[in-house]
Chain A
Amino acid sequence: MPFAGWEMPVQYEGIRQEHLAVRTRAGMFDVSHMGEIETSGPQAEELLQWLLSNDLTRIAERGAQYSVLCRQDGGVLDDLFTYRLGPDRFLTVTNAANHEKDLAWFRRHAEDFDADARDAHADWAMIAVQGPEARAALARVADGELPARMRTADLRVAGVELLVCGTGYTGEDGCELMTPPDGAAPVWDALRAEGVEPAGLGARDTLRLEVCFHLYGNDLSEDRNPIEAGLAWCCKLETDFIGSDALRGVEPRESLVPFAFTGPGIPRQGNAIRTEHGDGVVTSGSLSPCLEIGIGMGYVPAEASAPGTAIEADVRGKSRTAEVRDKPLYAKE
């Protein structure tokens, strides 16, 4: 399936089967479509502190941090992970569809700093290895100790130098591997030989939805601010990032909430939500392979955002009953 100019595997053996492999064993995703921007120079940290919503000074060397990139009015341009590779060298991972936009934004603002923002998309392919057995499988083929969660390490697998990051997008333990493009195939094959199962972007989407991770373009957009999207935790207003002025004192009229159907049906993006306090909209919806019910996320009036609130979704003309839930929708027992 074409996506943002990439040929993407949506599924290999079936979304549900791949999803359950990641939840119970180990799976791997080719996510080389993700973009990278390398920021370096004496004021690289100051530049990123200005651009990104989180407090960059808190990322230790070899650490990782999640943040959003906002416009002046607080609208979300992207959500991204940033890794500190050295004292003044950072790698930021962008969403494929936003990469060019993000890069232009980084470069425009880099002019005001003694820092350089470079397009590093062509330097890296990316494989996410996720699941309860992912670290063990990776450790068997790596030449050193794996990084802790939210840390990075330089390791070698199958003769390929990797940047290994203790991050992921599935709610499972695991790592994301940044490799030179010609190293992706041998690394993939080495993991495959350790029993790691290929998984497609369909399973990646259902896995992230069960644990309520945002997907840009569905749950986040330039028309939404991070406060209503439930991302205030990564918006450190005291760092005075672009957009922070607009977000100060914001009391959103709508909130992004996870929900689960209490009867039959599967919610889909764009379905209307009805509540006692007004209407909302589904931004992500699917069958949950683990819970075996329809689940989703959507924006609802703030008064209807408390867990336990009964709501309804209009699924192609049929009213389906649902309930606002706590995050995550799925948690291991």
Chain B
Amino acid sequence: MAEASYPEDLLYHPEHDWARVNGEEAVFGVTWYAQDALGEVVFFDPPELGAAVKKDEAYAEVESVKAVSDVFAPLSGEIIEVNDALADGPEKINEDPYGEGWMVRVRLTDPEEADTLLDVEAYKGLLT
């Protein structure tokens, strides 16, 4: 997507990741800023189902033609679903980073960690 956008209903991590929290579960992805900085994503290397992810630590990799970048977990939990569509369509991360470009669904082990994440205004403040 060409225009920067940051949905209001998401929580943000300063490493340019978002979480859409729904009770004990959350969906993770990367922000518009992150995909724009990466350039065209050509490969998404997902974690395995059942893997434990820890807040602030890398859980996946995205690659552009020339560079590799880690994707950081905004919250801790266990991977219960991976967006398989990214295997054949990693460009969805660029085209729709908050929708079809979602990366994983996680069962949270410590939902209260969400209190430490940024709301949209605080995250936008980081980008200026």
Contact A264 B40 (CB under 8 A): no
Contact B68 A206 (CB under 8 A): no
Report if B109 contacts A (CB, 8 A).
Answer: no
A108–B40 Cα gap in the complex (Å)? 47
Contact B65 A16 (CB under 8 A): yes
Q: Is the interface of A mostly helix, strand, loop or mixed?
A: mixed
Most buried by A among B39, B40, B65, B87: B65
Closest to B61 in A: A316
The stretch among A7-15, A46-54, A63-71, A302-310 that forms the contact with chain B is A7-15
| A265 touching B45 in the complex, CB below 8 Å, given contacts A14-B40, A15-B39, A16-B40 | yes
Contact A264 B42 (CB under 8 A): no
B88 to chain A: closest CB distance in Å? 10
Report if B123 contacts A (CB, 8 A).
Answer: no
| A287 touching B61 in the complex, CB below 8 Å, given contacts A202-B66, A268-B68, A316-B68 | no
Contact B65 A287 (CB under 8 A): yes
Contact A287 B45 (CB under 8 A): no
B53 to chain A: closest CB distance in Å? 16
Report if B6 contacts A (CB, 8 A).
Answer: no
Pick from B43, B45, B66, B87: contact of A15, CB below 8 A.
B66
Closest to B68 in A: A268
A286–B65 Cα gap in the complex (Å)? 6
Indicate with 1 or 0, residue by residue over A271-309, a CB within 8 angstroms of chain B CB atoms.
Answer: 000000000000000110100001000000000000000
Indicate with 1 or 0, residue by residue over A19-35, a CB within 8 angstroms of chain B CB atoms.
Answer: 10000000000000000
Chain B residues near A286 (CB-CB < 8 A):
65-66
Chain B residues near A205 (CB-CB < 8 A):
66
Report if A318 contacts B (CB, 8 A).
Answer: yes
Pick from B45, B61, B65: contact of A202, CB below 8 A.
B65
Contacting B at CB under 8 A, from A160-182, are: none
B46 to chain A: closest CB distance in Å? 10
B11 to chain A: closest CB distance in Å? 28
Pick from B39, B63, B65: contact of A289, CB below 8 A.
B65
Pick from A17, A268, A318: contact of B45, CB below 8 A.
A318
Contact B65 A264 (CB under 8 A): no
Report if A266 contacts B (CB, 8 A).
Answer: yes
A239–B61 Cα gap in the complex (Å)? 51
A72–B99 Cα gap in the complex (Å)? 60
A316–B63 Cα gap in the complex (Å)? 13
Chain A residues near B87 (CB-CB < 8 A):
264
A102 to chain B: closest CB distance in Å? 27
Contact A14 B63 (CB under 8 A): no
Contact A266 B39 (CB under 8 A): no
Indicate with 1 or 0, residue by residue over B83-94, a CB within 8 angstroms of chain A CB atoms.
Answer: 000010000000
A285 to chain B: closest CB distance in Å? 10
Contact A265 B65 (CB under 8 A): no
A168–B66 Cα gap in the complex (Å)? 21
A316–B64 Cα gap in the complex (Å)? 16
Closest to B67 in A: A268
Contact A15 B63 (CB under 8 A): no
Chain A residues near B43 (CB-CB < 8 A):
264-266, 287, 294
Interfacial residues, chain B to chain A (CB-CB below 8 A): 39-40, 42-43, 45, 61, 63-66, 68, 87
Can you spell out 10 A-B residue pairs with CB atoms less than 8 angstroms apart?
Answer: A14-B40, A15-B64, A17-B40, A264-B45, A266-B43, A266-B68, A268-B68, A286-B65, A287-B43, A287-B63
Taking A19-B65, A202-B65 as known contacts, 7 extra A-B pairs with beta carbons closer than 8 A to each other, sorted by chain A number, are: A10-B66, A16-B40, A16-B42, A266-B68, A286-B65, A286-B66, A287-B63
Interface pairs A-B: 6 shortest CB-CB? A15-B65, A287-B42, A14-B40, A266-B63, A202-B66, A287-B65
